[in-house]
């Protein structure tokens, strides 16, 4: 079946997620299974990113967040970190204008200051280039950790309390959310992890409170538009209840 035909079928259900977040896992295992160096898995994983973005665009997904480089990734060998950052630099350089042409807005969340200044400049450039695009909001989580994001939010709230800009009694879930990296991005409706692992690995811990979770066996480098359509098919068959009365669906919230 042509991917576009499947997308039309899914879109007609009118229950697609607004925001899909993906933990892209399995690059190294993909390379090892083929007796290739790890960097080969990361390179093929970058191709899967392109296919995933096209799947999101075809299905009119509004927000897509990709876990591209975790805060824990800095613990990998210097050689692998260098490969990952070099690939990231290459991807941003050659995909920026393509994404802009597609109407994709790119945003970066995480502790980006840990990257070298040249890469930080690329982050700024792609965000500035695409800032007015609305077809798809693509958030790249880079040097990102959910616990770190929460700690940073707490630190900023404490500073504002000490400066008497807010009263402790004013602190609510909504206010707390305003101190996260991307407060204007809605919480993900759906979080997907590839490679058969069944954990969040420090990804969007606050935002994932009511997200639907789907874990698939496919290694990330093999992920394509058909896989993207499959996870959407699973999602639209689920009934979301948000911890309240039985039968409460997302449309009732």
Domain formed by 3-145+188-252, architecture: 3-Layer(aba) Sandwich (3.40)
Q: Own/partner pairs for 88-95, CB < 8 Å, 24+ apart? A: 88/119, 88/142, 89/118, 89/119, 89/122, 91/46, 91/49, 92/119, 92/122, 92/123, 92/126, 93/122, 95/50
DSSP the chain: --HHHHHHHHHTTS---SEEEEE---HHHHHHHTT--HHHHHHHHHHHHHHHHHHHHHTT-SEEEEEEEEGGGGGS-HHHHHHHHHHHHHHHHHHHHHHHHTTEEEEEES-GGGS-HHHHHHHHHHHHHHTT--SEEEEEEEEE-HHHHHHHHHHHHHHHHHTTSS-GGG--HHHHHTTSS-TTSPPPSEEEE-TT--S--SSSTTTTTT-EEEE--S-GGG--HHHHHHHHHHHHTS---TTSSTT--GGG-
Catalytic member of 2, 5, 14, 25: 25
Q: Quote the pLDDT of residue 11.
A: 47
Structure tokens at 149: 């994001």
Note if the pTM is more than 0.85. yes
- Please confirm, yes or no, whether 73 is among the known catalytic residues: yes
Q: Quote the pLDDT of residue 10.
A: 52
User: Where is the binding site for substrate, in residues?
Assistant: 26-30, 38, 42, 70-72, 74, 76, 193, 199-201
* CA 106/CA 64 separation, integer angstroms: 10
Q: Quote the pLDDT of residue 248.
A: 42
Low pLDDT (below 70) residues in the chain: 1-14, 242-253
Catalytic member of 5, 73, 83, 116: 73
User: Where is the binding site for Mg(2+), in residues?
Assistant: 25, 212
Q: Quote the pLDDT of residue 239.
A: 81
Q: Quote the pLDDT of residue 243.
A: 63
Q: Quote the pLDDT of residue 240.
A: 79
- Please confirm, yes or no, whether 5 is among the known catalytic residues: no
Q: Quote the pLDDT of residue 244.
A: 59
User: Where is the binding site, in residues?
Assistant: 25-30, 38, 42, 70-72, 74, 76, 193, 199-201, 212
Q: Quote the pLDDT of residue 64.
A: 98
């Amino acid at each position: 079946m042509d991917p576009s035909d499947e997308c039309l079928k899914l879109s007609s259900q009118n229950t697609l997620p607004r925001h899909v977040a993906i933990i892209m896992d399995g690059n190294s295992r993909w390379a090892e299974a083929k007796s290739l160096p790890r960097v080969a898995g990361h390179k093929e994983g970058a191709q899967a990113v392109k296919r995933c973005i096209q799947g999101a665009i075809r299905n009119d997904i509004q927000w897509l967040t990709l876990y591209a480089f975790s805060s824990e990734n800095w613990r990998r060998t210097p050689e692998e970190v260098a490969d990952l950052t070099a690939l990231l630099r290459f991807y941003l350089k050659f995909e920026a204008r393509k994404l802009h042409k597609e109407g994709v807005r790119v945003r970066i969340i995480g502790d980006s200051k840990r990257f070298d200044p040249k890469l930080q400049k690329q982050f700024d450039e792609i965000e500035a280039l695409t800032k007015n695009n609305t077809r798809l909001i693509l958030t790249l989580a880079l040097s990102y950790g959910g616990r770190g994001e929460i700690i940073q939010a707490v630190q900023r709230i404490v500073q504002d309390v000490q400066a008497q800009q807010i009263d402790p009694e004013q602190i609510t879930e909504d206010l707390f959310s305003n101190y996260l990296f991307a407060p204007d991005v809605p919480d993900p409706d759906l979080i997907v992890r590839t490679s058969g692992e069944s954990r969040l690995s420090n990804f969007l811990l606050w935002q994932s409170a009511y997200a639907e979770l789907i874990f698939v066996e496919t290694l990330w480098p093999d992920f394509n538009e058909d896989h993207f359509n499959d996870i959407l098919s699973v999602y639209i068959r689920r009934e979301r209840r948000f911890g309240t009365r039985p039968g409460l669906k997302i449309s009732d919230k």
